[in-house]
């Protein structure tokens, strides 16, 4: 428990530094950017991918298991990713600003006081509007970030809390798929050859499917009571006996 508390404290510090960094580039005199247009676009694309991946995974963990701990881990990853962005990129990057807003709104249910204080800093520093947000309103009046229409949905196969098979799919196609369609897509996907092996090894059967909005459908597997299952026995590793220290030769 002490380790968890320490980890959260370190994250809060990292989180606060992120917003200190937000102030500094805007208060310093303008300097010429050291990156070219192509490099900047690559950074923007990377920021967008990380931001949208975080929205997806946080939504998935909350909607599927209400796992706050797993959601926090994903938010920590986004925080660290943003900390690596250079100062000259921060000043001109729309994706960076969008990521900050998304991060704060997703953080609000977990640490409302700190998130609210940082939102006020954000309101003072941002000179342009951010898509999907009204910076004249408080943090708690903002809508939870959503995935854009061009971001693919996913179909998963789940046992307990383990996603043992997954593949992207068009969200427009996902909306019309039945449970049988989802299963067929997973089985036919060449990259999912391990799916059948996992099911056979663990003695599973398809129990039900769960649709999460328009972004994800999960096939949920349970143990098949008609199939005998034996828990794997972990090998016992004997500890090596410490060798007695060698005696120093006497002169």
> What's the pLDDT tens digit per position in 19-65?
676 666 555 555 566 788 899 999 999 999 999 999 999 999 898 88
Which pairing describes strands 216-223 and 204-212: parallel, antiparallel, or unpaired? antiparallel
Domain harbouring 175, CATH code: 3.10.20
Arithmetic mean of pLDDT, 131-141: 92
The whole-angstrom separation of Cα 114 and Cα 117 is: 5
In a domain, 217, yes or no: yes
- Kindly state whether residues 45 and 129 are assigned to the same domain: yes
CA-CA distances (angstroms) from residue 22 to 106, 124, 242? 18, 11, 54
Q: Is 90 exceeded by the pLDDT of residue 6?
A: no
Q: 45 with 134, same domain?
A: yes
Same structural domain, 61 and 108: yes
Whether the predicted pLDDT of 150 surpasses 80: yes
**Do 133 and 189 share a domain, yes or no?**
no
Same structural domain for residues 117 and 176? Answer: no
Domain count, the chain: 2
Write the DSSP assignment of the chain as a string of letters: -HHHHHHHHHHHHHHHHHHHHHHHHHHSPP---SS-HHHHHHHHHHHHHHHHHHHHHHHHHHHHH--HHHHHHHHHHHHHHHHTS-HHHHHH-HHHHHHHHHHHHHHTTTSHHHHHHHHHHHHHH--S--TT--TTS-GGGSPPP---TTS-EEEEEEETTEEEEEEEE-HHHHTT--HHHHHHHHHH-GGGTHHHHHHHHHTEEEEEEEEETTTEEEEEEEE-TTS---PPPPPPPPPPPPPPPPPPPP-
- Same domain as 163, residue 133: no
d(CA 111, CA 61): 18
Map tokens 């039900």 to a residue. Answer: 208
C-alpha pair distances (Å), 245 with each of 5, 41, 242, 248, 251: 41, 62, 9, 9, 18
The tens digit of pLDDT for each residue in 201-224 reads 899 999 999 998 889 999 999 999
Q: What percent of the chain shows pLDDT beyond 90?
A: 37
- Mean pLDDT of all residues belonging to the chain: 83
Token readout for 212 is 């999460």
Per-residue pLDDT at 75: 92
Residue 198 in tokens:
């996992």
Domain annotation covers residue 241? no
Position 112 in a domain: yes
Q: How does pLDDT run across 222-243, given as a tens digit for each residue?
A: 999 888 766 666 666 565 556 6
Q: Are 78 and 54 in contact (CB under 8 A)?
A: yes
Q: Whole-prediction pTM value?
A: 0.78
pLDDT digits (tens, 9 = 90+) for 65-111: 888 888 988 998 999 899 888 888 888 899 999 999 999 999 999 88
- The parent domain of residue 48 ranges over 2-27+36-141
Query: Is the domain of 126 the same as that of 192?
Result: no
Would residue 229 count as lying in a domain?
no
């Amino acid at each position: 428990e002490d380790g968890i508390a320490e980890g959260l404290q370190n994250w809060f510090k990292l989180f606060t530094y992120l917003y200190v960094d937000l102030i500094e580039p805007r208060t310093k005199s303008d300097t010429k950017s050291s990156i070219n247009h192509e490099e900047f676009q690559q950074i923007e694309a990377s920021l967008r991918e990380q931001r949208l991946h975080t929205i997806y995974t946080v939504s998935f963990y909350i909607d599927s298991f209400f796992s706050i701990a797993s959601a926090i881990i994903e938010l920590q990853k986004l925080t660290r990713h943003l900390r690596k962005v250079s100062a000259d990129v921060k000043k001109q990057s729309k994706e960076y600003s969008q990521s900050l807003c998304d991060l704060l709104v997703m953080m609000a249910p977990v640490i409302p006081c700190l998130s609210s204080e940082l939102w006020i800093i954000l309101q003072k520093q941002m000179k342009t509007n951010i898509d999907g947000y009204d910076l004249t309103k408080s943090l708690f009046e903002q809508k939870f970030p959503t995935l854009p229409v061009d971001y693919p949905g996913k179909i998963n196969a789940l046992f307990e809390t383990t996603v043992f098979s997954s593949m992207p799919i068009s969200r427009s196609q996902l909306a019309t798929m039945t449970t049988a369609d989802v299963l067929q897509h997973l089985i036919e996907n060449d990259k999912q050859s391990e799916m059948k092996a996992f099911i056979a090894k663990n003695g599973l059967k398809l129990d039900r499917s769960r649709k999460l909005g328009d972004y994800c459908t999960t096939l949920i597997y349970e143990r098949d009571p008609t199939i005998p299952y034996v828990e794997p026995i972990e090998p016992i590793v004997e500890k090596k006996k410490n060798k007695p220290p060698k005696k120093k030769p006497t002169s």
